[in-house]
């Protein structure tokens, strides 16, 4: 009986410690990367506003060229939805939520598999000179309690930041051809 009591206390502590810890861990994260492209701002913006063009530069889109994709609406306009289903990248969709012409695009990412989450992404274009444009690509997410405990074990800045950097490098290569 005494051993059972000790085992139950140990199990309770093992469960309680992460749950209590998660109360004090942030729930939101944001990652942003940038690159300068030797093209005029209008040309760069006109390319990135079309979600289908992400197939040419996004690391995630390039991970599975055989992914099933479907589209709803007119690409490059608010409300356009690009959905994907893949053995490698899971299942989800991306919707253009807001466009500030030649300045900024805002997207909502809705992940369905292997996990459910809704996050936001954006792309910002800024003139560096007449023929150079800085592109910022960012991602903002939220993890509800108690799943936010994962933020202790995963470095979203490094994990997502590397993928954003790869995508921006691919974008630069694509546009500077």
Q: Are 160 and 140 in contact (CB under 8 A)?
A: no
Q: What is the pLDDT of residue 47?
A: 98
- Regarding pTM above 0.75, the answer is yes
Count of domains forming the chain: 1
Going by the DSSP 8-state scheme, the letter that residue 7 receives in this structure is H
Q: What is the CATH number of the domain that holds 163?
A: 3.30.530.20
pLDDT digits (tens, 9 = 90+) for 87-127: 999 999 999 999 999 999 999 999 999 888 899 999 999 99
40's tokens: 């005029």
Residue 32 domain boundaries: 2-175
**Of 89, 81, 85, 135, which Cα lies nearest the Cα of 109?**
81
Q: Phi/psi of residue 50, each to 5°? A: -90, 110
- C-alpha distance across the termini of the chain, in Å: 75
pLDDT digits (tens, 9 = 90+) for 18-47: 888 888 888 888 899 999 999 999 999 999
């Amino acid at each position: 009986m005494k051993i059972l009591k000790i085992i139950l206390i140990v199990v309770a502590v093992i469960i309680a410690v992460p749950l209590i810890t998660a109360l004090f861990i942030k729930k939101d994260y944001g990652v942003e990367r940038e690159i300068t492209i030797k093209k005029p701002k209008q040309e760069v913006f006109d390319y990135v506003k079309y979600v289908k063009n992400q197939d040419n530069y996004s690391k995630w889109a390039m991970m599975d060229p055989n992914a099933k994709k479907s589209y709803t609406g007119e690409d490059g306009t608010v409300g356009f939805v690009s959905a994907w289903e893949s053995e490698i990248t899971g299942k989800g969709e991306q919707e253009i939520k807001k466009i500030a012409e030649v300045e900024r695009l805002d997207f909502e990412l809705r992940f369905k598999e292997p996990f459910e989450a809704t996050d936001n992404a954006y792309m910002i274009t800024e003139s560096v000179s007449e023929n150079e444009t800085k592109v910022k690509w960012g991602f903002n997410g939220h993890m509800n309690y108690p799943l936010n405990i994962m933020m202790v074990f995963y470095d979203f800045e490094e994990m997502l930041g590397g993928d954003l950097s790869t995508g921006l490098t691919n974008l630069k290569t694509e546009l500077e051809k």
